[in-house]
């Protein structure tokens, strides 16, 4: 339930003064639906206008407010702008320049001899001072604009003034609230209260640190509540007897790495407890997580329960299914695949098998947790590529079974510890920090995109030799339409040079079955080259593909490039990754690509990526498709997350039910920042 005091702040924007249906729609484009969204809509910069009576050279480049008297209207040729020569009170001349305005317009707005208030940025043009397209106001008209004005992100149909007005109204709806931050923390940091900090942030005058901290505190509270909630429920101790896992391991052509053995010990140790496991398994691409997941699932089956493997996409679900069926071919386990595409009789039969325990391991997309899907006895859930599932989804998942299942999440996106705390803070961590032996490092090279002909020739030779390759197309602006267009154009280009039949294309807007068909052809070796957008980012495993080409590499996140690169180097052979770069690279872009060339260590890359990016850019946002924090940029995350975690822990230790005054305050905080997930937590708590 939403705390009552927040009602005005959570009112829909239609309730604000003068906001009609069309403005509701316009605001929706900025993801602004409620007053609180406006209150959280921070400006991108401040304009400092200087109100002066006299202009001079030293003010060039600054926005000014100045009284000027027009002296001459000068319309040059038909194509040149209208110039109005004007003079200030100190006798300084300045040209007011207007494109596309007529002399008649000038005569009414800037009549000669009548002093006006002129607002605009002072520039120099040759020897002269000028102001292009200034605002013109009558001196006895409206009040002059504020000297300092926040500049807000806008959408069509909105003026900055209007936005500022709405934001102001929203800020007026922020209620008086009890402080939720630990007094000693707030005293040490010297922060103002929430409402004052928010107002300050709108003036770009501090406040951001406190807001970032609040956001992280809410995040940590939510995660710790999930943890407490899950761990408080009685689960079931699952101990395997080895009849499946021993046979599986004996049948493998290689041994587990030391790291795989260690994390398996941690996982089976957890599963042998009645408290439900909450564990995140991190390991670089190709480190052998899938096998670890399989052993854990077989352990659950040995203990007489079922296991489910949740994959983020259908392609990956199918691939996992194929791999596991192959690896477990000699074992008495029944493995099934369920995707959103299964319909009708087959689906019903499968669901009956699941409910009656004739299926041991179910693999699929989120379809495997729909309401209609009932397990006989679900003991373990493995979530692959966990970063795509938010806290709210994890909560739902935990509530699915009668007895809460053990949960093992796996991610191949190595993330620095500070970020791991914010994303997976409710989980214990296991890390695979060793690769299977015999893997050669991927030979990574950076090349200018201008050398595309050489690249195409090398690609042709690679395919002639029986090799397969990926060609990943740039993120245009992150929208699927544009990305698709770029990939389609590139695929046509490559088809023309390499042969129509050897080149396949997949992109995010293709229908599942079409995408799968192309992927399957590629996996079966029917296609030599797969042109793709980033849909191939996670998990796809085709060992014969040993060449990866990434176009406009500088536009990708480092972690994402590392992920993409991990698609090759999966067999024993020598693999190459070519990063094609544009001509004009920033220092940072250069440093990032260099780092990628130098190391194959995903954790090092992730840490360095965090350092190389400035504040304001969130690591991996695009990669993960996860909503970034609003106020907590990576620098502040690093700075504050441990503090926030301790604060949250202390708060819950004292008042686990969030019932006392500060507990109530914390409920407000949770609702402000976590909303739906917050609601779910409060309901269950
Ligand atoms: P991840 O899921 O961590 O990216 P996978 O589990 O897909 O990695 O493993 C990558 C490849 O390495 C697979 O082909 C897998 O069979 C193989 N593999 C896993 N563990 C080992 C090991 N201990 N020794 C050799 N090869 C292994
Ligand atoms: Mg994997």
Ranking 143-147, 443-447, 593-597 by mean pLDDT, the lowest is 143-147
Q: With bands split at pLDDT 50, 70 and 90, how would you rate the model's confidence at 617?
A: very low
The Cα–Cα gap between 666 and 297 comes to: 38
Nearest CA to ligand 1 atom 10: 286
Q: Do 17 and 108 have their domain in common?
A: no
Ranking 237-246, 443-452, 486-495, 505-514 by mean pLDDT, the lowest is 505-514
Q: Do 61 and 36 have their domain in common?
A: no
Specify the pLDDT at position 460.
Answer: 94
**Mean confidence (pLDDT) of the chain:** 87
Question: Is residue 650 one of the residues assigned to a domain?
Answer: no
- Residue 625 in this model has a pLDDT that exceeds 50: no
Once rounded to an integer, what is the mean pLDDT over residues 179-200?
A: 96
Question: Is residue 184 one of the residues assigned to a domain?
Answer: no
The Cα–Cα gap between 403 and 236 comes to: 7
Specify the pLDDT at position 615.
Answer: 34
Q: With bands split at pLDDT 50, 70 and 90, how would you rate the model's confidence at 623?
A: very low
Specify the pLDDT at position 148.
Answer: 85
Atom of ligand 1 minimally distant from the CA of 291: 6
What CATH number is associated with residue 469?
3.40.50.300
Q: With bands split at pLDDT 50, 70 and 90, how would you rate the model's confidence at 424?
A: confident
Using DSSP bridges, classify how beta strands 378-384 and 306-310 pair: parallel, antiparallel or unpaired: parallel
Through-space distance between the first and last CA atoms of the chain, rounded to whole angstroms:
11
Question: Is residue 591 one of the residues assigned to a domain?
Answer: yes
The Cα–Cα gap between 7 and 35 comes to: 10
Q: Do 333 and 361 have their domain in common?
A: yes
Once rounded to an integer, what is the mean pLDDT over residues 25-41?
A: 95
Specify the pLDDT at position 386.
Answer: 60
The Cα–Cα gap between 465 and 529 comes to: 13
Specify the pLDDT at position 221.
Answer: 92
Nearest CA to ligand 1 atom 23: 256
Q: Do 326 and 385 have their domain in common?
A: yes
Specify the pLDDT at position 478.
Answer: 62
Measure 189 CA to ligand 2 centroid, in angstroms: 43
Whether 311 lines ligand 1, by a CB cut-off of 6 Å, is no
Query: Residue 637 in contact with residue 418, Cβ under 8 Å?
Result: yes
Q: With bands split at pLDDT 50, 70 and 90, how would you rate the model's confidence at 647?
A: very high
Q: Do 35 and 54 have their domain in common?
A: no
- Residue 256 in this model has a pLDDT that exceeds 90: yes
What CATH number is associated with residue 42?
1.10.150
Burial class (CB in 10 A: 0-12, 13-18, 19+), 527: buried
Specify the pLDDT at position 476.
Answer: 67
Query: What percent of the chain has pLDDT above 90?
Result: 53
Q: Do 327 and 450 have their domain in common?
A: no
Once rounded to an integer, what is the mean pLDDT over residues 183-195?
A: 95
Query: Residue 459 in contact with residue 498, Cβ under 8 Å?
Result: yes
> Which ligand is closest in space to the CA of residue 316?
2
Ranking 41-50, 194-203, 269-278, 630-639 by mean pLDDT, the lowest is 630-639
Measure 470 CA to ligand 2 centroid, in angstroms: 18
Q: Do 517 and 398 have their domain in common?
A: no
Three-class SS state of 443: strand
Q: Do 39 and 112 have their domain in common?
A: no
Once rounded to an integer, what is the mean pLDDT over residues 255-266?
A: 96
The Cα–Cα gap between 207 and 199 comes to: 8
Query: Domain boundary residue among 599, 632, 665?
Result: 599
What CATH number is associated with residue 79?
2.40.50.140
Whether 435 lines ligand 1, by a CB cut-off of 6 Å, is no
Whether 285 lines ligand 1, by a CB cut-off of 6 Å, is yes
Query: Domain boundary residue among 574, 599, 624?
Result: 599
Whether 260 lines ligand 1, by a CB cut-off of 6 Å, is yes
> Domain of 32?
1-48+158-175
Query: What percent of the chain has pLDDT above 70?
Result: 91
Pick the more confident residue, 147 or 294.
Answer: 294
Question: Is residue 31 one of the residues assigned to a domain?
Answer: yes
Query: Domain boundary residue among 576, 599, 622?
Result: 599
Q: Do 415 and 459 have their domain in common?
A: no
Query: Residue 494 in contact with residue 529, Cβ under 8 Å?
Result: yes
Specify the pLDDT at position 616.
Answer: 33
Specify the pLDDT at position 444.
Answer: 93
Whether 287 lines ligand 1, by a CB cut-off of 6 Å, is yes
Specify the pLDDT at position 174.
Answer: 97
Can you say whether residue 204 is alpha, beta or left, with left for phi > 0 and alpha for psi between -120 and 50 degrees?
A: left
Question: Is residue 200 one of the residues assigned to a domain?
Answer: no
Specify the pLDDT at position 681.
Answer: 61
Q: Do 278 and 422 have their domain in common?
A: yes
Q: Do 165 and 16 have their domain in common?
A: yes
Question: Is residue 245 one of the residues assigned to a domain?
Answer: no
Q: With bands split at pLDDT 50, 70 and 90, how would you rate the model's confidence at 423?
A: confident
Residue partners of 141: CB distance under 8 A and separation at least 6:
117
Question: Is residue 380 one of the residues assigned to a domain?
Answer: yes
Query: Residue 123 in contact with residue 129, Cβ under 8 Å?
Result: yes
Q: Do 15 and 101 have their domain in common?
A: no
Once rounded to an integer, what is the mean pLDDT over residues 376-383?
A: 93
Residue partners of 47: CB distance under 8 A and separation at least 6:
63, 148, 149, 151
Specify the pLDDT at position 512.
Answer: 75
pLDDT tens, residue by residue, 306-356 = 999 998 878 788 888 988 999 999 999 999 999 887 788 989 999 999 999
Nearest CA to ligand 1 atom 5: 288
Q: What is the tally of structural domains in the chain?
A: 4
Question: Is residue 437 one of the residues assigned to a domain?
Answer: no
Specify the pLDDT at position 678.
Answer: 61
pLDDT tens, residue by residue, 564-590 = 888 888 777 789 999 999 888 888 888
Atom of ligand 1 minimally distant from the CA of 256: 23
Specify the pLDDT at position 626.
Answer: 42
């Amino acid at each position: 339930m939403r705390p009552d005091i927040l009602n005005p702040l959570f009112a829909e924007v239609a309730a604000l003064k003068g906001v009609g249906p069309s403005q509701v729609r316009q605001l929706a484009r900025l993801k602004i639906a409620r007053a609180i969204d406006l209150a959280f809509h921070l400006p991108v910069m401040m304009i400092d206008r200087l109100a002066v009576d006299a202009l001079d050279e030293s003010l060039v480049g600054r926005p000014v407010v100045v009284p000027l008297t027009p002296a001459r209207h000068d319309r040059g040729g038909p194509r040149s702008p209208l110039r109005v020569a004007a003079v200030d009170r100190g006798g300084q001349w300045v040209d007011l320049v207007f494109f596309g305005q007529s002399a008649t317009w000038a005569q009414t707005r800037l009549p000669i001899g009548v002093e006006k208030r002129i607002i605009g940025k002072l520039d120099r043009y040759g020897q002269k001072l000028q102001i292009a397209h200034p605002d013109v106001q009558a001196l006895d008209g409206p009040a002059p604009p504020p000297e300092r004005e926040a500049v807000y992100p806008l959408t069509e149909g909105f003026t900055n003034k209007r936005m500022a007005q709405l934001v102001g109204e929203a800020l007026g709806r922020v209620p008086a609230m009890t402080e939720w931050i630990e007094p000693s923390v707030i005293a040490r940091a010297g922060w103002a209260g929430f409402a004052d900090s928010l107002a300050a942030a709108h003036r770009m005058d501090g406040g951001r640190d406190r807001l970032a901290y609040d956001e992280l505190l809410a995040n940590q509270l939510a995660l710790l509540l999930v943890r407490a909630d899950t761990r408080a429920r009685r689960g079931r101790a699952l101990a395997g007897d080895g009849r499946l896992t021993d046979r599986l391991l004996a049948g493998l052509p290689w041994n587990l790495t030391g790291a795989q053995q260690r994390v398996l010990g941690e996982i089976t140790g957890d599963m042998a407890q009645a408290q439900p496991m909450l564990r995140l398994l991190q390991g670089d691409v190709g480190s052998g997580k899938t096998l670890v997941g399989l052993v854990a699932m077989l352990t659950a089956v040995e203990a007489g329960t079922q296991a489910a493997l949740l994959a983020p996409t259908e392609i990956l679900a199918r691939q996992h299914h194929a791999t596991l069926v192959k690896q477990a071919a000699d074992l008495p386990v029944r493995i099934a695949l369920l995707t959103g595409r299964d319909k009708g009789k087959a689906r019903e039969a499968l669901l009956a098998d699941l409910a009656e325990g004739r299926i041991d391991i179910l693999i699929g997309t989120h379809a495997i947790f729909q309401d209609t899907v009932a397990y006989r006895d679900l003991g373990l859930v493995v979530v692959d590529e966990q970063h795509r599932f938010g806290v709210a989804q994890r909560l739902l998942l935990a509530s699915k079974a009668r007895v809460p299942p053990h949960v093992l999440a796996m991610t191949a996106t190595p993330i620095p510890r500070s970020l791991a705390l914010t994303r997976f803070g409710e989980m214990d961590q296991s890390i695979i920090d060793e690769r299977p032996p015999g893997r050669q490092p991927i030979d990574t090279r950076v090349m200018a995109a201008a050398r595309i002909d050489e690249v195409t020739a090398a690609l042709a030779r690679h395919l002639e030799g029986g090799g397969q390759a990926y060609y990943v197309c740039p993120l245009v602006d992150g929208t699927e339409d544009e990305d698709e267009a770029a990939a389609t154009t590139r695929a046509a280009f490559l088809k023309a040079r390499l042969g129509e039949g050897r080149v396949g294309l997949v992109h995010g807007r293709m229908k599942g079955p079409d995408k799968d068909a192309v992927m399957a052809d590629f996996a079966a070796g029917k296609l030599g080259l797969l042109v793709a957008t980033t849909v191939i980012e996670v998990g796809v495993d085709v060992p014969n593909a040993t060449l990866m080409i990434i176009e406009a590499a500088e536009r990708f996140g480092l972690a994402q490039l590392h992920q993409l690169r991990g698609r090759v180097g999966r067999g024993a052979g020598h693999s190459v990754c070519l990063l094609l770069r544009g001509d004009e690279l920033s220092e940072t872009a250069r440093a990032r690509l260099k780092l990628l060339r130098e190391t194959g260590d995903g954790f090092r890359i992730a840490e360095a990526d965090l350092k190389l990016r400035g504040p304001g850019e969130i690591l991996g946002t695009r990669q993960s498709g996860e909503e970034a924090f609003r106020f907590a940029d990576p620098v502040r995350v690093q700075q504050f997350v441990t503090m926030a975690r301790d604060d949250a822990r202390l708060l819950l230790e004292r008042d686990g039910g969030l019932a006392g005054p500060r507990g109530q305050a914390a409920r407000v905080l949770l609702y402000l920042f976590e909303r739906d997930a917050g609601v779910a937590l409060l309901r269950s708590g």
